[in-house]
Amino acid sequence: MLTADLLVARLRRNRVDPIYRNPEDEDLIARAAHILECFRESVTYQRQRGELRTLLNESLLNVSTDLRCDRGFVKLCEDRCQYQVQSEVAPSELREKVFAAAVKARVSGQFDRDTILEDLAKELDISLDAVEAGLYADLKDNERLLEFKELNPVQLIHRYNLALAQAVLFRATQLTITIKENGPPRYRRLFRALKFHRLLHSVEGSMEDGFTISIDGPMSLFTRSQQYGLRMAAFLPTLVLCQEWSLKADILWDKSRSNSRPKLFEINHEMGFVSHARDVGVWLPTEIQKLAEDWPKDNDWVLSTETDILSLGGNGVFIPDFAFHRKRRKTKIFLEILGFWNKSAVVKRLELLKKHGPKNLIVAISKYLCVAKDGTIKAEIDGLPGEVYVFRSFPVRRELLQRLETMQPCITSKKKKKKAPKKKAPKKAAEKPKTKKKPATKTKAKKSAPKKTP
């Protein structure tokens, strides 16, 4: 991602407009190709990080016509590099032995740097050059480039344009996303990404009309704003994968952020953004991934991450983390693991679940969920439609199975009660002909009366 000093944008009235680059510009493609070639050659020669930086600075000064943009290309390429410390002996161990030998030589009055290094090389059975190279090999500038994730110049330009938008969102206070005309798999992917990145959000709308998602920006938080900003920036490529979408954000742009008015930032699907995210399922948080890995496959309760999109009574949608299916039965129980670190967001989610949550739901809440100093959220837990499970670090399989077994009879009994009124319906229809026989008896009495007169 781009840092703040590499963000290039214009301020027009109350709007922030990043200067996006044309991926069909031949001069821009040539400059991007030159930068990529420098990284490829550095992998071949396993250059040090400092050597690569010097090479790029010299080449950009001679070739670049837009130095700030090209430095942005370099930053995105560096994010795709893998460096490693290369030394035959651990650098910390080398320094310890060299400094110890140097102290002894100083005390004896026979200090000679070359002699000390040569004696150490013989002791460790390595070359003198290996001692020289490994002495400070763990410094960042001395790390060697081993791998570079390939991409072509056009892909680098698309990545740069999206990174500009991501850099703007670091200063956002509020985001409003409108998304429509996407199928259930796409909605599921989007809402799972919101949950995965732990973004504080609220959703309104329906599957047919589309959804409006409101997200709190990193500048609206008092703590962990940098970490939260990274999560928000990481969410943007998933949004770009959608077919029809738009995003509006309030941005605190000026340095005197407390006194400045928010600026407007807008992007949509018609601007030609290309996502670098793979269009597959998202990675799961640690507590969810651990539970999925540890759950036995031969258990009577089958665990699945393919859950339903449940409506919250017009207040958005709800996608549980897991769905449990009972073998040879149609019982389905959902599990939601709350991992938000903001208390107000947790309370709001629990209030929605109280009013509109399904009854076949287990809400798993971490004991260390609340970061507020004023207490816990025990009062908000009462009244939830399903079961509540409080865990410490990770959900425990044995405790979950106990709650699944306790919920099983409640769900099946409710299903049987719903079928009872259907059996009473035909009885009411059979009683109606009996009431019609009463007028028939009256007519017989009238016919028998005239026989007594003669």
Domain of 335, CATH number, reads 3.40.1350
CA atoms within 13 A on the CB side of 32: 25
Whether the Cβ atoms of residue 170 and residue 79 lie closer than 8 Å to each other: no
pLDDT of amino acid 445: 45
The structure tokens 């910390």 sit at 92
pLDDT at 172 over 90: no
pLDDT in tens, 296-316: 888 888 888 767 777 777 666
* 216 located within any domain: yes
Whether the Cβ atoms of residue 320 and residue 361 lie closer than 8 Å to each other: yes
Domain housing 380: 286-405
pLDDT in tens, 66-107: 899 999 999 999 999 999 999 889 999 999 999 999 999 999
Chain-centroid distance of CA 223 in Å reads 19
Mean of pLDDT over the chain: 80
Token couple for 335:
């599990």
* 443 located within any domain: no
Q: What dihedral angle (degrees, nearest 10) is formed by the CA atoms of 78, 82, 83, 85?
A: 170
Domain of 230, CATH number, reads 3.30.70
Domain co-membership, 319 together with 265: no
Strands 201-206 and 81-84: what pairing? Answer: unpaired
* 53 located within any domain: no
Domain co-membership, 290 together with 400: yes
* 31 located within any domain: no
Confidence of residue 294 (pLDDT cuts 50, 70, 90): confident
H or E, element range at 412: helix 397-436
pLDDT of amino acid 441: 45
Domain co-membership, 214 together with 272: yes
Domain co-membership, 332 together with 351: yes
Domain co-membership, 307 together with 377: yes
First to last CA, the chain: 116
pLDDT of amino acid 382: 62
Give the domain-ending residue among 279, 295, 317: 279
Q: How many other C-beta atoms are found inside a 10 Å radius of the C-beta of residue 242? A: 18
Domain co-membership, 294 together with 354: yes
pLDDT in tens, 343-388: 666 777 778 888 888 888 888 887 765 434 454 555 566 666 677 8
| pTM for the model | 0.66
pLDDT in tens, 204-253: 887 677 889 998 877 665 444 677 778 888 899 999 999 899 999 988 88
pLDDT of amino acid 390: 80
SS3 content of the chain, % helix, strand, coil (to 5): 50, 20, 30
* 80 located within any domain: no
Give the domain-ending residue among 237, 261, 279: 279
Looking at the structure of the chain, the number of domains it has is 3
pLDDT of amino acid 424: 52
Instruction: Please name the residue ranges forming H helices in 110-257.
Output: 113-124, 128-134, 153-169, 184-196, 225-240
Give CA separation, 36 vs 47, 113, 130, 152, 325, in Å. 15, 41, 30, 8, 50
* 4 located within any domain: no
Domain co-membership, 94 together with 192: no
Is residue 332 left, alpha or beta, with left meaning phi > 0 and alpha meaning psi from -120 to 50?
beta
Domain co-membership, 342 together with 263: no
Contacts by residues 417-422 (CB-CB < 8 Å, ≥ 24 positions apart): none
The structure tokens 């370099």 sit at 74
